[in-house]
Chain A
Amino acid sequence: MFSTYYVPAGGWYRRLSPVTKIVVPVAFVTIGFFMASPLSAVWLLPSVVILLWLARIPGWVVRTFTRVLYTLVPVITVSWLLLFQEGRVLWAWRFLRVTSTGLARAVAMDFRFTAIILSVPLILGAMPQQDLVAGLRKLRVPYMVCFILALALRFIPTLMADSDQIREAQMARGLELEKVSVWRKIGNLVATTLPMLALALARVETLSQVVECRGVTLTRGRDKTFYNEPVLRPVDYVVSLGAVALTLAVGFFRYHCHWFGIGGPA
């Protein structure tokens, strides 16, 4: 999951501060939500491909997220085509109708969410977890939220390892988890989830004692200094502010000038 997507690499984008590497994808996602017409949303795809290339994100990481699209794109397409009835009717059969606006919306949403989902590796694949948390802290996200996020992210691989171990132990005891029907798999989920939770609860008690021993309190973040402090260089300011400015400009043109919407320019 989180911990497995980051692969160290060189390149200009990788040398940016974690703050910039958070701001740029978030700005891209925001711009993506402003693009409501197919003609404007189609430009999101080459943009995200360029960003992924600049960030040197490995192909296998991007392919992991494209698998999500095999589910999402059909659902979005069918929903907008058949359930959005405004506009000129292009095709009709009994109670099913495909309209021009429904088709435009379906295409636009497909492009939009494909680009947005492909932008996720820009965060997960371009920096390790500790940089992500340090970047959020630099962006003034409350210290306690960053601390809890860091703990949870550290917990996930441990739980996954426990889950795999429990699965193998249960299979060694004769529990069939693979070559059975989906309904049996659901029933067998209890056999793996229950022990995993029991282990996790024991770990959490220890974790809470460790947190207490280290004196972590609600007010600690105010005076705390950190070893890993992201440094912002002039190029980070240029890129971050540029991304924010572009987002605001697109938002202005979208809502004030009615660009990028269905029926508007582009």
Chain B
Amino acid sequence: MKPRIEFGSRQIAIIALSTAVYSLLNWFGAAFQVVPGASLIYPATAAAVVFSLWFGFWGALGAYFGTIIGGFAWGSPIYVGLTGGLHDMIEGLIPALVFYALHLDRGLRDKRSLLFYVIFGCIVGTAANAVLGNLNFVLWGVLPLKAVLVGFWSWWAADAVAAVVLGIPLLRFLTPYVEKTSLYHEGFLVRRFRRGGKHPA
């Protein structure tokens, strides 16, 4: 059975929630700066990854809008946010696509799921975001190209710390609750697969 794309009231509410939470956690990150421009933890990363795992594409879309709103309210130029939202979305999409494709447990209740989360959520996804994020700053003239080599490490570390310290407890403790709600997405673009139909993945 062909997968369908579901976009209704729940997806609208999910995108709005993800956007609001991402924007707010974006702000919280400023409280953990140790030197100007370098934060020990970027809590919004956990929101991007966790919402993408729970709600699929619609959760990741919230990271995109959240980057624009959160960055804008912080003073970031709108053009930087419009392109920057894409790499924040990718940060959540990478582990989400892996989890949906391999039918891993999003509650991290087995070792295989935890291992894949650490690899793709805490390492690969955050590294991709760090590279693309620094390149986004180069694109808009905030930093020179050589600064990518320097900026990458602090960015990656802050995102990885958030994905581990916040992401794992959120998934472990809240996934059982989210699974019981009508918001939880079994598929990347749909909430529930039709009974009796072949699993599209």
Contacts and interface: CB of A to CB of B under 8 A. Distances in A.
Contacts of A198: 174, 177
Interface in B58-108: 65-66, 69, 72-79
Interface extent on A, as a size class?
35 or more
A194 B170 contact: yes
B129 interface: no
A83 B146 contact: yes
B8 to A, nearest CB: 7
Nearest to B151: A79
Contact of A186 (B37, B41, B77): B41
Contacts of A54: none
Contact of B141 (A112, A147, A187, A193): A112
Most chain-A Cβ atoms within 10 A of its Cβ — which of B28, B73, B150, B173?
B73
A180 to B, nearest CB: 12
A184 B60 CA distance: 29
B116 interface: no
Interface string B11-37: 011111101110111011001111011
B165 A197 contact: no
B170 to A, nearest CB: 6
Contact of A75 (B36, B77, B173): B36
Interface in B140-191: 140-144, 146-147, 150, 161, 165-166, 169-170, 173-174, 177-178, 181-183
A174 B34 CA distance: 26
Contacts of B16: 148, 151-152, 155, 204, 207
B132 interface: no
Given A76-B142, A120-B75, A156-B24, A208 B9 contact: yes
A92 interface: no
Contacts of A243: none
Contact of B13 (A26, A33, A208): A208
Interface in A116-136: 116-117, 120, 124
A71 B36 contact: yes
Given A69-B75, A201-B178, 6 more contacts: A1-B24, A2-B69, A79-B143, A79-B150, A156-B20, A160-B24
Interface of B: 7-10, 12-17, 19-21, 23-25, 27-28, 31-34, 36-37, 40-41, 43, 46, 65-66, 69, 72-79, 140-144, 146-147, 150, 161, 165-166, 169-170, 173-174, 177-178, 181-183
17 contacts: A1-B27, A65-B75, A72-B75, A76-B143, A79-B143, A102-B144, A113-B142, A120-B75, A149-B69, A151-B13, A152-B69, A186-B32, A190-B166, A198-B174, A204-B13, A205-B13, A205-B182
In the A-B complex, the 4 residue pairs with the closest CB atoms: A151-B16, A155-B20, A208-B13, A212-B9
